[in-house]
């Protein structure tokens, strides 16, 4: 539907903040009004301006170029359909970022459901296969394993808290920038970030404990820090 350029490297997970407005300026309010009026030319410019940022956010979560491209297409379709509902309670970029993150995690949920259904069908076709033990060897790509594990944990976090955490950790927003972008009090943001991190740590600890009961000491050591991947501070 929209021509997606190759501007910007998908290998970078951090986004330049100077291009992401932190609050509702007069220029942004004017842009929103034009988008809501259905100005096609303005919408094309909007897509051109933000498409690389949307793709980087999606790639930072999904770690797959084709999936990130597909999500970016879906995001701008959703923006086109939903822009009239935008009320300006946050910056336009914050709204766009939230849509992107939500689309990514909806995609991951569907992917997990599809994989679960396919596994169930395979087990029905071949009951003996379902009884085979899982491969005990560590993942060949630890970074991919960490990202997958983190995404599974983040799926359990409420949408707004997940959004705050990703803006903070993936894009490097300061507390002040988060407050300006979301309209929340700085202390409220700190409390939510702390609570979210504690929830992630608790969920990860339960997961590791469950694995400890099934694995040898050598295998256990490789999972202890799985819930703190590169790019996420404690």
The CATH number that applies at residue 35 is: 1.10.1740.10
Mean pLDDT of 58-85: 93
Domain of residue 206 covers 140-234
Place 127 in a pLDDT band, splitting at 50, 70 and 90. low
- 113 plus 187 within the same structural domain: no
- 88 plus 187 within the same structural domain: no
Place 114 in a pLDDT band, splitting at 50, 70 and 90. low
Mean pLDDT of 151-171: 84
Count of domains forming the chain: 2
Contacts of 172 (CB under 8 A, 6+ apart): 14, 17
Nearest to 2 by CA among 38, 37, 48: 48
- 174 plus 75 within the same structural domain: no
Query: With left for phi above 0 and alpha for psi between -120 and 50, is residue 172 left, alpha or beta?
Result: left
pLDDT of residue 160: 85
- 94 plus 156 within the same structural domain: no
Q: Which of 112, 132, 152 is the last residue of a domain?
A: 132
Residue predicted with more confidence, 233 or 102: 102
Place 157 in a pLDDT band, splitting at 50, 70 and 90. confident
Strands of the chain, DSSP E: none
- 74 plus 158 within the same structural domain: no
Q: Which of 116, 132, 148 is the last residue of a domain?
A: 132
pLDDT of residue 214: 61
């Amino acid at each position: 539907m929209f021509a997606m350029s190759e501007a910007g490297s998908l290998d970078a997970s951090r986004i330049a903040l100077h291009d992401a407005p932190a609050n509702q300026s007069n220029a942004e309010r004017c842009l929103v009004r034009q988008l809501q009026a259905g100005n096609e030319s303005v919408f094309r410019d909007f897509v051109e301006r933000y498409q690389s940022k949307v793709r980087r956010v999606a790639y930072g979560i999904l770690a797959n170029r084709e999936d990130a491209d597909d999500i970016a297409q879906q995001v701008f379709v959703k923006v086109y359909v939903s822009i009239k509902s935008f009320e300006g309670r946050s910056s336009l970029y914050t709204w766009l970022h939230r849509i992107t993150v939500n689309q990514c995690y909806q995609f991951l949920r569907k992917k997990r459901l599809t994989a679960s259904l396919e596994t169930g069908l395979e087990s029905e076709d071949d009951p003996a296969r379902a009884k085979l033990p899982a491969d005990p060897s560590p993942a060949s790509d630890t970074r991919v394993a960490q990202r997958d594990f983190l995404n599974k944990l983040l799926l359990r976090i409420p949408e707004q808290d997940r959004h705050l955490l990703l803006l903070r950790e993936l894009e490097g927003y300061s507390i002040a920038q988060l407050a300006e972008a979301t309209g929340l009090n700085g202390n409220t943001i700190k409390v939510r970030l702390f609570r979210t991190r504690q929830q992630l740590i608790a969920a990860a600890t339960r997961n590791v404990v469950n694995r400890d009961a099934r694995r040898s000491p050598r295998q256990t050591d490789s999972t202890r820090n799985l819930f703190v991947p590169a790019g996420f501070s404690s």
